[in-house]
Structure 1
Amino acid sequence: MPAPFDTAAADLQTQGFALLPGVLRPAETHALTAAIAAAPATGAGFRHSKELFAIRNVVGEVPALWPILAASELPQLLAVLFPQGCHLVKSIYFDKPAHSNWFVAWHQDLMISVDGKADLPGFGPWTHKAEGVAVQPPRFVLEDICTIRLHLDDCDAQNGALHVVPASHRQGPIPGPALPRHTPAAVTCPVPAGGAMLMKPLLLHASSRSTSERQRRVLHLEFSSLDLPAGLHWRERLSLSC
């Protein structure tokens, strides 16, 4: 489907996000959920509580996922988004269960996951967490990244669909006190099972509490065409044929 992909790529640049139904076929969606369910929850990336089930570095923790994704339309989409080639730099699985009562406040995704700390101009602040080191990179690095959220369930305002502020990615990093003056322009982004939401990390986004019985399972994949400066590497880098 080159025409929808071209349109989505254009919307991504101008609006900071795009919605694409049908990136995954029903059999592929089922295969992804089955692979996650069959994975032994013993890896360092697994986080399980009453409110949330998440797997960080999910493609590394569940290697069976990538052959399924590689057989879907995802590589064709990546070829449109990154004609020069790209690599996976982060992958997370989110399962927002029924009656999950948490929400995510308005924010931009300003941090990237790296393999260690390096003294480089334009990089910082740095954080050190259980899963590893993260840093806020220069703006051009964030602008190159594309996040693709593959939805494994129907998602709407009742079970945690994202709210976004169109074109807010053009502002660069926005200071916290300035966020409220942008959010009145927000829209909600429902995505059907098998669909994808494309977004730029600098896009302002938030997520409401779930008010329905339905799950919201999402594969969150971040891609970039860039290699980081000498001395710094993407922690989850996976080379792809885009």
Structure 2
Amino acid sequence: MKTTSGANPLAGRLQEDGFAILPGLYEPAEIAALLQCIEGAPASGPNFRRSQAVFAIRNLLGEVPELGPLLDTAALRALLTQLFPEGCQLVKAIYFDKPALSNWLVAWHQDLMINVDGRVELPGFGPWTSKPEGTSVQPPVAVLENMCTIRIHLDDCDASNGGLKVVAGTHQHGVLPPATLPALTPAAVVCAVPAGGVLLMRPLLLHASNRSTSARPRRVIHLEFASTELPGGLQWRERRPWLEAEKQR
């Protein structure tokens, strides 16, 4: 994904800032169909988390496979072609719902862990975690640098309902020591994204979100794409080819 801004302005912006906002990637009717599909899903099992403060679905396309064709629009495929000219695969999908007046926040962090199908001892991979939903590991920085997160906003989102805060350029400095964060976060900006818009983000970008203070929900589909395979027999747990499948149509 290290493309010069002259050859590919969007990839260049991501390389420079670590994030970009694109309004209107999904039409209102497409957003309505996505919400209807999610709301009709059975909310049971270890990948579902539901409370008064949050509703989340991990391994989203595994749990709600009907979402796949609804997400796979011509607009998304065109965007992925810009970001990954050589092809990519979806490696993680999560649905987040921060309900109105939710009292939870997300502290400053980088997205350092990836979901894999099992533990394989490899140089540069670790630490490891094991949860009911599966195994995760922190990979070498080179793996994270070839990934991009696409957050599809199903509601208008701003600071009042927990919009993401980011610190531009922090993805360029690898894994940040916790002691360095207080000096960086005063430069944060809030990513206001309209319903149907997307926030593109590099995993190493420093980000957080505040508590919601409004009566509006903040529902987001979080998709992570990667252009590389993992070494040594290690596999992405949720791997789904995306652009490769499109090329065969």
Q: TM-score, with normalisation over the residues of structure 2? A: 0.93
Q: Encode CA deviations 1:193-216: one digit per residue, 9 max, x unaligned.
A: 000000000000000000000000
Number of matched pairs: 237
Give the letter aligned to residue 235 of structure 1: R
- The answer on whether the counterparts of 1:163 and 1:187 sit within 8 Å (CA) in structure 2 is yes
Unaligned runs of 5+ in 1: 1-5
Deviation of 1:184 after TM superposition, in Å, equals 1.3
Q: TM-score, with normalisation over the residues of structure 1? A: 0.96
Give the letter aligned to residue 142 of structure 1: L
SS at match of 1:59: helix
Deviation of 1:42 after TM superposition, in Å, equals 2.6
- The answer on whether the counterparts of 1:98 and 1:215 sit within 8 Å (CA) in structure 2 is yes
Among candidates 207, 210, 213, match of residue 212 of structure 2: 210
Q: Encode CA deviations 1:6-64: one digit per residue, 9 max, x unaligned.
A: 53322111100000000101111000000001111234311101110000011111111
Unaligned runs of 5+ in 2: 1-7
Q: Cα RMSD over matched residues?
A: 1.0
- The answer on whether the counterparts of 1:144 and 1:226 sit within 8 Å (CA) in structure 2 is yes
Give the letter aligned to residue 231 of structure 1: G
Instruction: Among all aligned residue pairs of Structure 1 and Structure 2, give the percentage whose two residues are the same amino acid.
Output: 62
Among candidates 183, 186, 200, match of residue 185 of structure 2: 183
Between the aligned partners of 1:39 and 1:9, the Cα distance in structure 2 is 35
SS at match of 1:181: helix
Among candidates 157, 160, 163, match of residue 158 of structure 1: 160
SS at match of 1:95: strand
- The answer on whether the counterparts of 1:59 and 1:65 sit within 8 Å (CA) in structure 2 is yes
SS at match of 1:198: strand
Structure 1 runs (4+) greater than 6 angstroms displaced: none
Partner in structure 1 of residue 124 of structure 2: 122
Between the aligned partners of 1:7 and 1:47, the Cα distance in structure 2 is 38
1:43-192 to structure 2, matched below 5 A, reads 43-192=45-194
Among candidates 6, 17, 20, match of residue 19 of structure 2: 17
- The answer on whether the counterparts of 1:113 and 1:134 sit within 8 Å (CA) in structure 2 is yes
Between the aligned partners of 2:162 and 2:234, the Cα distance in structure 1 is 35
Between the aligned partners of 2:224 and 2:73, the Cα distance in structure 1 is 18
SS at match of 1:236: coil
